[in-house]
């Protein structure tokens, strides 16, 4: 997952590492909507009831180092009054700026807004982070209660004509203001954010926009609820236990249990998850059951009482209308202006170049799977059959077992959590950037497993604080993500406080925590996000972390490469009992196994990304009717040149939450776009001697420290020396040559 990169109500950006493997959830999205930090402000206090103020830890800046949240003093009952008072105080500050009798200046308007909203920022960041990492029903209630209020709060600011008049007036004469480049960028960002929120529209159009936003918001909820319902109702009922051959005893027991809870005692139920391909397909030996499960999965949301066809069509329609309101030809064009890619053409070009390489590898793999199917049929004296979508995972598993002779139990003893952290993650950062880490136990934590580290810069100064929350808990969101409790800003004198969250199973007391290589990679990935936050060296909070969706996963995916760097690996991959280094042959096998199915994984991802673009590049007049949605997907994939029935898209339209119920409309491509930048950068490092301070310092000063002080595309191109190229990514994923190539890698599960 990715970090939340938004500042304030002023820039809404991304949720942390919202995996393309699972839909971004509401909590992550809430965590993403941060507020601009500001000075320990006074006006806030006036707005809150006296009793609530007395002991509410949010009402003043934390007295702890770097304004570290006073977790031991925060109670659930503090959030709602914190939000209410925070919004009231913020509006008051904004009103004072809008009504300032003095003519607008950069200082009294833009800088003043940067300084506003400190209380709201504190409560919003802490609440968002804890709600995801250590939530409870009380906090969920607060989330539901606050969501519409925060949306209205945002509208009250961006649709305020007096405020926009000041911003726009400054923007129009920006060349004469004598601003330094970062201040100029800030002014341009403010203008952009206001304009995109509708500030320039006529009063009548503003009303239309508000209606559209409201409708889109309820359609989003409707879509999500329909998926939940359809996914539940589409669970496959099995009458005969023999049909389940291949599943483990526990899985069969769980299937019987699931049936019982639905009043189907004596039967079994195969429940579904959100993706097209269902995990049990890789184990199920019964081909007709595989087919039933697959067909139940793809039919979700088409017809019945949880029909999403009309919802998707209506959303596409309203989005196209909204784009038109802003003069854009379609929703993708409206959305992509804010991204690194910039235009639909650039996205189409990148996806179009990647697709043939992925398909080529996939079709070669399909031929191997077909051979396996034929051989099996011959052995059993049965008729062979043609590889179908519901067969791929099953035969891929068979082939994998034939080719790679290891399992997790062989690998995990070499990856002990603390050693991976200290001698791997921290070691690599030390080699590259000269930073070091010192654990501290004096600060309060919200849960006993959370660890806190001072991050010390090469010159001995304190750079910020890093928090590590690695273990799985029932009250923690799934996946992995990074977020910040305090974002860096020179203006506010704020040093960063970045936190990583994973979901590693906690061992029994006294036992070591042993990781899979995927989990190791995830630790490096999330730490890449943390470094992006920790190295931020900007003046304005707005520019610290508000980077586009297709840039957010760049520093994190780049940092993954150090998990497999020979020097780093030699430093941390040691047997937890004997201390013996991991055998090279075993590690090479781990990497080769990761790349084994990359043709399939990349094709199913690209298909979904292209489907997303197909919907959102439609002109209003080309949007299909609800009855045509079923055929729309295949036709769109055919047109995009990636239609290949054995590999369906990761999500079909009617259950594609990322684009119809999450924040990824026209942006599902962002994961692979960021990865292209990451692999290009990796190749640049390799060309320049790899793990060195010189390379690290250059990357830090030109990319990691820059936030959005310049447009991300420019930051990348100036560092890399040109526009992105796809070859390093193809090589990393083992897609560039027909032979399995060592040194490549698959994607991690947590992006
Ligand atoms: Zn991420």
Q: Are 485 and 464 in contact (CB under 8 A)?
A: no
Q: Is 526 a catalytic residue?
A: yes
Q: How far is the CA of 423 from the centre of ligand 1 (A)?
A: 22
Radius of gyration of the chain from Cα atoms?
26
CA nearest 186: which of 174, 199, 198? 174
Distance CA 228, CA 294 (A): 17
Count of beta carbons in the 10 Å neighbourhood of residue 684: 17
pLDDT of residue 743: 36
Distance CA 207, CA 198 (A): 10
Burial of 460 (0-12, 13-18, 19+ CB in 10 A): exposed
Domains present along the chain, CATH in parentheses? 26-208 (1.10.1370.40), 223-306 (no CATH), 411-586 (1.10.1370.40)
Q: How far is the CA of 643 from the centre of ligand 1 (A)?
A: 28
pLDDT of residue 266: 96
Q: How far is the CA of 393 from the centre of ligand 1 (A)?
A: 26
- Residue keyed to tokens 């509708």: 198
Q: Across-strand partners of 236?
A: 270
pLDDT of residue 12: 29
Dihedral sign for Cα 43, 46, 47, 48, please.
positive
Q: How far is the CA of 3 from the centre of ligand 1 (A)?
A: 6
Q: How far is the CA of 258 from the centre of ligand 1 (A)?
A: 33
Q: How far is the CA of 551 from the centre of ligand 1 (A)?
A: 10
Q: How far is the CA of 4 from the centre of ligand 1 (A)?
A: 10
Q: Are 480 and 381 in contact (CB under 8 A)?
A: no
Residues having C-beta closer than 5 Å to ion ligand 1: 2, 17, 553, 556
* pLDDT tens for each residue of 591-650: 888 889 999 999 999 999 999 999 999 999 999 999 999 899 999 999 999 999 999 999
Taking each helix axis from N to C end, the angle separating 203-233 and 309-325, rounded to the nearest 10 degrees, works out to 160
Q: How far is the CA of 21 from the centre of ligand 1 (A)?
A: 12
Give Cα 641 distance to the centre of its chain.
27
- Residue keyed to tokens 């203008």: 191
Burial of 4 (0-12, 13-18, 19+ CB in 10 A): buried
Q: Are 216 and 222 in contact (CB under 8 A)?
A: no
Q: How far is the CA of 505 from the centre of ligand 1 (A)?
A: 20
Beta strand 497-504 with 462-471 is parallel
Strand ranges in 264-423 using DSSP code E only, listed in sequence order: 268-270
Q: Are 136 and 76 in contact (CB under 8 A)?
A: yes
Q: How far is the CA of 576 from the centre of ligand 1 (A)?
A: 28
Q: How many CA atoms lie within 13 A of 165 on its CB side?
A: 8
Q: What is the dihedral of CA 656, 659, 660, 661, to 10 degrees?
A: 90
Q: Across-strand partners of 238?
A: 268
pLDDT of residue 737: 59
pLDDT of residue 16: 44
Q: How far is the CA of 264 from the centre of ligand 1 (A)?
A: 41
Q: Across-strand partners of 462?
A: 456
Q: How far is the CA of 6 from the centre of ligand 1 (A)?
A: 15
Q: How far is the CA of 745 from the centre of ligand 1 (A)?
A: 16
Question: Quick check: helix, strand or coil at residue 451?
Answer: strand
Distance CA 745, CA 557 (A): 11
CA nearest 640: which of 618, 682, 607, 687? 607
Distance CA 748, CA 517 (A): 9
Q: Are 525 and 560 in contact (CB under 8 A)?
A: yes
Taking each helix axis from N to C end, the angle separating 137-158 and 76-98, rounded to the nearest 10 degrees, works out to 0
Q: Catalytic residue among 526, 553, 560, 675, which?
A: 526
Residues 6+ apart with CB under 8 A from 579: none
Structure tokens at 733: 């994923």
Q: How far is the CA of 557 from the centre of ligand 1 (A)?
A: 7
Distance CA 446, CA 441 (A): 13
Q: Across-strand partners of 727?
A: none
pLDDT of residue 8: 37
Question: Quick check: helix, strand or coil at residue 684?
Answer: helix
- Residue keyed to tokens 């609440």: 127
Burial of 438 (0-12, 13-18, 19+ CB in 10 A): exposed
Burial of 176 (0-12, 13-18, 19+ CB in 10 A): exposed
Q: How far is the CA of 107 from the centre of ligand 1 (A)?
A: 35
Q: How far is the CA of 671 from the centre of ligand 1 (A)?
A: 9
**Distances in whole angstroms, Cα of residue 33 to Cα of each of 3, 76, 484, 707:** 11, 19, 12, 17
Strand ranges in 556-702 using DSSP code E only, listed in sequence order: none
Q: How far is the CA of 515 from the centre of ligand 1 (A)?
A: 19
CA nearest 39: which of 112, 106, 130, 118? 118
CA nearest 354: which of 731, 98, 750, 56? 731
Structure tokens at 410: 């062989």
Q: How far is the CA of 711 from the centre of ligand 1 (A)?
A: 20
Q: Are 617 and 351 in contact (CB under 8 A)?
A: no
Question: Quick check: helix, strand or coil at residue 432?
Answer: helix
Residues 6+ apart with CB under 8 A from 50: none
pLDDT of residue 409: 87
Q: How far is the CA of 213 from the centre of ligand 1 (A)?
A: 28
Q: Are 320 and 228 in contact (CB under 8 A)?
A: no
Which residue positions in the chain have pLDDT lower than 70?
1-54, 737-751
Residues 6+ apart with CB under 8 A from 431: 567, 568, 691, 692, 693, 696
Residues 6+ apart with CB under 8 A from 700: 432, 433, 535
SS (H, E, C) 44-57: HHHHCCHHHHHHCH
């Amino acid at each position: 997952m990715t970090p939340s990169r938004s500042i304030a109500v002023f820039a809404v950006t991304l949720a942390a590492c919202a995996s393309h493997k699972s839909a971004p959830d509401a909590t992550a999205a809430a965590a993403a909507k941060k507020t601009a930090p500001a000075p320990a402000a006074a006006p806030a206090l006036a707005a809150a009831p006296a009793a609530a103020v007395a002991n509410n830890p949010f009402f003043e800046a934390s007295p702890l180092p770097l304004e570290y949240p006073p977790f031991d003093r925060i109670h659930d009952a503090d959030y709602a009054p914190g939000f209410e008072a925070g919004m009231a105080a913020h509006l008051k500050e904004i009103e004072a700026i809008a009504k300032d009798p003095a003519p607008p200046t950069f200082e009294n308007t833009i800088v003043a807004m940067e300084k506003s909203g400190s209380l709201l920022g504190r409560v919003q960041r802490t609440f968002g982070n804890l709600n995801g990492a250590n939530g409870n029903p009380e906090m969920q209630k607060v989330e539901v209660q606050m969501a519409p209020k925060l949306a209205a709060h945002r509208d009250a600011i961006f649709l305020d004509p007096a405020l926009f008049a000041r911003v726009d007036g400054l923007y129009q004469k920006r060349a004469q203001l004598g601003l330094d480049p970062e201040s100029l960028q800030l002014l341009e960002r403010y203008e952009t954010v206001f304009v995109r929120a509708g500030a320039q529209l006529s009063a009548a159009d503003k009303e239309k926009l508000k209606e559209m936003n409201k409708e889109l918001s309820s359609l989003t909820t409707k879509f999500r609820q329909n998926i939940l319902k359809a996914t539940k109702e589409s669970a496959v009922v099995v009458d005969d236990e023999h049909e389940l051959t291949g599943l483990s005893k526990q899985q069969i027991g769980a299937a019987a249990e699931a049936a019982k809870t639905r009043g189907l005692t004596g039967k079994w139920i195969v429940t579904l998850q959100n993706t097209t391909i269902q995990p049990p397909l890789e184990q199920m030996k019964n081909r007709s059951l595989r087919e039933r499960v697959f067909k139940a999965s793809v039919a979700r949301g088409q017809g019945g009482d949880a029909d999403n066809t009309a919802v998707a069509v209506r959303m596409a329609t309203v989005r196209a209308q909204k784009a038109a309101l802003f003069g854009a030809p379609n929703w993708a064009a409206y959305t992509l202006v804010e991204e690194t890619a910039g235009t639909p053409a650039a996205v189409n070009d990148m996806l179009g170049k990647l697709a043939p390489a992925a398909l080529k590898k996939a079709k070669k793999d399909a031929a191997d799977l077909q051979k396996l199917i034929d051989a099996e049929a011959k052995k059993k004296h049965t008729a062979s059959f043609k590889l179908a979508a519901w067969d791929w995972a099953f035969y891929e598993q068979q082939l994998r077992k034939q080719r790679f002779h290891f399992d997790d139990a062989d690998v995990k003893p070499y990856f002990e959590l603390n050693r991976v952290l200290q001698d791997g993650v921290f070691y690599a950062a030390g080699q590259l950037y000269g930073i070091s880490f010192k654990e501290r136990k004096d600060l309060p934590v919200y849960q006993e497993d959370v660890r806190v580290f001072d991050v010390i810069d090469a010159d001995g100064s304190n750079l910020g604080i890093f928090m590590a929350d690695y273990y799985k808990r029932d009250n923690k969101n799934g996946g992995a993500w990074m977020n910040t409790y305090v974002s860096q800003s020179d203006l506010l004198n704020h040093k960063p406080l970045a936190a990583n969250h994973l979901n590693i199973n906690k061992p029994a007391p006294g036992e070591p925590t042993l990781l899979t290589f995927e989990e190791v990679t995830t630790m490096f990935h999330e730490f890449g996000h943390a470094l992006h936050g920790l190295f931020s060296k900007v003046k304005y909070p707005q520019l610290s972390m508000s980077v586009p969706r297709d840039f957010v996963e760049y520093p994190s995916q780049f940092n993954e490469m150090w998990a497999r760097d020979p020097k780093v690996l030699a430093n941390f991959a040691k047997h937890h009992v004997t201390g013996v280094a991991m055998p090279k042959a075993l590690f090479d096998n781990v990497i080769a196994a990761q790349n084994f199915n990359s043709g399939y994984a990349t094709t199913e991802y690209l298909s979904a990304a292209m489907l997303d673009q197909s919907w959102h590049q439609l002109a209003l007049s080309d949007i299909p009717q609800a009855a045509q949605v079923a055929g729309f997907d295949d036709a769109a994939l055919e047109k995009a040149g990636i239609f290949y029935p054995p590999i369906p898209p990761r999500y079909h339209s009617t259950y594609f939450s990322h684009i119809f119920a999450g924040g990824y409309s026209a942006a599902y491509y962002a994961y692979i776009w960021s990865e292209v930048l990451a692999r290009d950068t990796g190749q640049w490092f390799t060309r320049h001697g790899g793990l060195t301070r010189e390379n690290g310092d250059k990357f830090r000063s030109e990319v990691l420290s820059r936030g959005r002080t310049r447009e991300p595309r420019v930051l990348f191109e100036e560092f890399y020396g040109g526009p992105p190229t796809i070859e390093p990514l193809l090589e990393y994923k083992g897609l560039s040559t027909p032979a399995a190539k060592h040194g490549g890698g698959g994607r991690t599960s947590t992006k």
